[in-house]
Structure 1
Amino acid sequence: MQYKPNIYSQTSHIVGFTDYLKPPKAFHDVNVEELLWRASMSPRIRGHPFHFVPKVAFMFLATNQTSNVKKVDGNARMHPESPVFHERSQEVEWGMVSLIEAVRRLLANALLDILNQHFVLLSETCIPLYNFSTVYSYLINSTRTFVEVFDDPSSVRYYLSNYTRITVDQWRKGWAWFAIDREVAIESISDRQYFPEFLKCKGHCFPDEHYLPTFVHLKFAARNANRTLTWVDWSKGGPHPMEYRSPNVTAALLSSLRSGYGRKCEYNGRSTDVCFLFARKFMPDTLDNLLRLAPQIMYFST
């Protein structure tokens, strides 16, 4: 009798493109270390063997007082226990290292969606100055990232002597509100060289104004526009920018912000007057005026 070996065929499940392109679930049970590890993965082959529509991830670093969100939702006041943030918020303190840890978690969660190609950090007091089509086109077609980076000698007081991997001449400052592409986002959440230095910070040393500007200056200077896309008015001085209230919100103000008060900047090698896509700090009582003026000034659909 001829011997015929048993042949077992086993097909392992391979996730197809349809499943691969599905956005990840908003809730997951991984810890921060696992989250950063998973988010740091990146395909080595350039291009996409499937129909690819890039997305922009708008990430909000928000306080509990997100009344604008609550008003749209039909309620009177925002609480961290509301369905929007229930069991999802973590304590972050102004000026402390917990701020940049929170930003890394936001980036890591957004990176889980392979379609997200640009990442914008905003606050609950930020507003768009242009409609979505304009904002999307500006970001997707840009050849630069937008992280404000400048050398401010006064900020050296926040430089600690135990930052052994960063020298004073490498130290940079910039406002926290950025727009970066996927490569910069992956590299920043994977950073094991400079980020641990900022974790040594104790007290109010404002790492949110120094870590990413320093990191981008050291790693991606040639690709960075060295400017932010978020208008902030610091003309009054002090540790906090000007707050816009309802009487301030007029068609003239929004038009001025859209033009950057006559500023010019560079976009993909050409001069433009579209320098800011967002603005802050707009308080909750400005919402009605903003909704009324949006179709007129920003050409939002009513």
Structure 2
Amino acid sequence: MYKGFSNLGGLRSFNDKQRRRKPRRWYFLVAFMGILCVSVLVFTSKNLSKSARNMNPCDLFGAKVCPDSLFSQAPPSRPLTDEELATRVLAQDILSEPPKSAVKPKIAFMFLTAGNLPFERVWEKFFEGHAGLYSLYVHASRRAELKSVWNSSIFIDREIRSQEVFWGKIEMIDAERRLLANALMDLNNQYFALVSESCIPLYNFNFTYDYLLGAHMSFVDSFDDRGPHGQGRYHDKMAPEVSRTSWRKGAQWFAVSRKHALLIVSDYLYYNKFKNHCKPGPENKNCYPDEHYIQTFLYMMDAGHLSNWTVTHVDWSEGKWHPKSYEKGDITEATLQSIQAIENHYHITSDGHPITTVLPCLWNGRQQPCFLFARKFLPETAEPLFELLPSKIWARALPSSREEKHD
């Protein structure tokens, strides 16, 4: 035989042996990767199991990978009433509509206040130079009684018809819905932020505008608290329309998309359930509608497009019934920057063995600062805040991802 062919045959024999050996290497590699994956799952399973109930399904990869409407739900376990069916059909129609295009999309800032706004100058500076990109609505329930006057021209004639609001009662929800209804009349309003008289903006207008209009979700604090201050406030008369497992709790202050604003103002079935069976007082299980109605209703209608955290910061570290009130001596650059730096949101259950859930604030799939606004600041802080915010806090370099354009 020709020598060349003989060598080629030897090479083939060698290669055949190598091919038979390669699968063994792959077996070891696959086995190693399997062990690694199992280890990671075991390490994280405890934290995931605690937080799964409050995790937005779009959090990890961003809302762009989610369908336009996540209203598709498992078939109901019982026949729906006529009112439930009508509400769900309307909700599905609203959620499935393509977003309305606006020449200049605007953010509606809705001020829920008793009287005047102690931080008028701060807000006036915040809005300066951005006419046409925002709308203002003020619900001042006691302004005539308090003889308040507006010092800034941007708030003149921005009041809507207002009625008296009582803390912890359904009138608070009525005022919120009234603000939303008035703001929805302007078709260019695409996002709706509820703020109070003790609230301040943590960033400049451009940052806030891009953050809200660039998001693919509503910022509503909505979590499952199975303790006495969560599910313990649930009344059996809420059933069958509102189940105990659907009951959610969260902060009052929200920022919602136009679709979710439409859902809130068009609802009467679930609203009446809360009006009749969620009231303050021990005989009513100390139920406060502003902590449960919107949080539960939007969870039931479109949970997949809720952030599960609020963009308004408040300090509960004092462990009291009401959050910390910031005084004049608290106003420092370091304090405000520390709030800006928060990138995780916390939920603590109210049962005997509280469970703390810590989750990243994921903005379109990326961890970002959580808060755009902060409260409760006393009126005495107005002057130092006006001196500090525009020059030191708003002027700071912003995260580059905030300056990117998003669909």
Q: Give the one of 194, 200, 205 matched to 1:127.
A: 200
Secondary structure (helix, strand or coil) at the match of 1:220 reads helix
Offset, 1:68: 3.3
Offset, 1:287: 1.0
For 1:281, the equivalent position in structure 2 comes to 376
For 1:57, the equivalent position in structure 2 comes to 108
Offset, 1:89: 3.0
Alignment of 1:170-209 (within 5 A): 170-201=246-277, 203-204=279-280, 205-209=287-291
Asked if the contact 1:245–1:282 (Cα under 8 Å) also holds between the matched residues in 2, the reply is yes
For 1:269, the equivalent position in structure 2 comes to 365
For 1:292, the equivalent position in structure 2 comes to 387
For 2:237, the equivalent position in structure 1 comes to 162
Offset, 1:238: 2.1
Offset, 1:261: 7.4
Going from structure 1 to structure 2, the CA distance change for 1:87 and 1:157 (only over 3 Å counts) comes to same
Point out the structure with max Rg over C-alpha: 2
Going from structure 1 to structure 2, the CA distance change for 1:253 and 1:142 (only over 3 Å counts) comes to same
Q: Give the one of 326, 342, 351 matched to 1:244.
A: 326
TM-score under structure 1 normalisation?
0.76
Secondary structure (helix, strand or coil) at the match of 1:260 reads coil
Give, in whole Å, the separation in 1 of the partners of 2:371 and 2:222: 16
Secondary structure (helix, strand or coil) at the match of 2:238 reads coil
Asked if the contact 1:118–1:140 (Cα under 8 Å) also holds between the matched residues in 2, the reply is yes
Asked if the contact 1:81–1:87 (Cα under 8 Å) also holds between the matched residues in 2, the reply is no
Q: Once structures 1 and 2 are overlaid, which stretch shifts more, 203-212 or 116-125?
A: 203-212
- Identical columns (%): 40
Secondary structure (helix, strand or coil) at the match of 2:269 reads coil
In the alignment, residue 160 of structure 1 is paired with which amino acid? H
Whether 2:288 is the aligned partner of 1:210: answer: no
Secondary structure (helix, strand or coil) at the match of 1:228 reads coil
Offset, 1:222: 0.7
Aligned length: 255
Give, in whole Å, the separation in 2 of the partners of 1:147 and 1:245: 27
Whether 2:310 is the aligned partner of 1:234: answer: no
Give, in whole Å, the separation in 1 of the partners of 2:121 and 2:273: 38
Asked if the contact 2:115–2:148 (Cα under 8 Å) also holds between the matched residues in 1, the reply is no
Give, in whole Å, the separation in 1 of the partners of 2:324 and 2:293: 24
Offset, 1:212: 0.7
Offset, 1:203: 4.0
Whether 2:342 is the aligned partner of 1:260: answer: yes
Offset, 1:46: 4.0
Give, in whole Å, the separation in 2 of the partners of 1:135 and 1:86: 23
Asked if the contact 2:251–2:291 (Cα under 8 Å) also holds between the matched residues in 1, the reply is yes
In the alignment, residue 259 of structure 1 is paired with which amino acid? A
Going from structure 1 to structure 2, the CA distance change for 1:86 and 1:131 (only over 3 Å counts) comes to closer
Going from structure 1 to structure 2, the CA distance change for 1:65 and 1:191 (only over 3 Å counts) comes to same
Secondary structure (helix, strand or coil) at the match of 1:56 reads strand
Unaligned runs of 5+ in 1: 1-39
Give, in whole Å, the separation in 1 of the partners of 2:115 and 2:276: 27
Secondary structure (helix, strand or coil) at the match of 1:110 reads helix
In the alignment, residue 292 of structure 1 is paired with which amino acid? E
Asked if the contact 1:97–1:201 (Cα under 8 Å) also holds between the matched residues in 2, the reply is no
Going from structure 1 to structure 2, the CA distance change for 1:291 and 1:198 (only over 3 Å counts) comes to same
Offset, 1:69: 3.7
Offset, 1:191: 1.2
Give, in whole Å, the separation in 2 of the partners of 1:88 and 1:225: 31
Asked if the contact 2:116–2:148 (Cα under 8 Å) also holds between the matched residues in 1, the reply is no
Going from structure 1 to structure 2, the CA distance change for 1:194 and 1:72 (only over 3 Å counts) comes to closer
Unaligned runs of 5+ in 2: 1-90, 125-142, 151-155, 281-286, 346-359, 397-407
Secondary structure (helix, strand or coil) at the match of 1:233 reads coil
Asked if the contact 2:107–2:209 (Cα under 8 Å) also holds between the matched residues in 1, the reply is yes
Q: Which has the higher helix share?
A: 2
Going from structure 1 to structure 2, the CA distance change for 1:298 and 1:96 (only over 3 Å counts) comes to same
Offset, 1:202: 6.3
Going from structure 1 to structure 2, the CA distance change for 1:252 and 1:106 (only over 3 Å counts) comes to same
Secondary structure (helix, strand or coil) at the match of 2:109 reads strand
Secondary structure (helix, strand or coil) at the match of 2:215 reads coil
Give, in whole Å, the separation in 1 of the partners of 2:343 and 2:123: 30
Offset, 1:167: 1.2
Give, in whole Å, the separation in 1 of the partners of 2:206 and 2:196: 21
Alignment of 1:80-91 (within 5 A): 80=147, 82=149, 88-91=161-164
Asked if the contact 2:122–2:385 (Cα under 8 Å) also holds between the matched residues in 1, the reply is no
Give, in whole Å, the separation in 1 of the partners of 2:123 and 2:337: 24
Give, in whole Å, the separation in 1 of the partners of 2:237 and 2:195: 31
RMSD between aligned residues: 2.8
Give, in whole Å, the separation in 2 of the partners of 1:87 and 1:185: 17
Going from structure 1 to structure 2, the CA distance change for 1:291 and 1:187 (only over 3 Å counts) comes to same
Offset, 1:60: 1.1
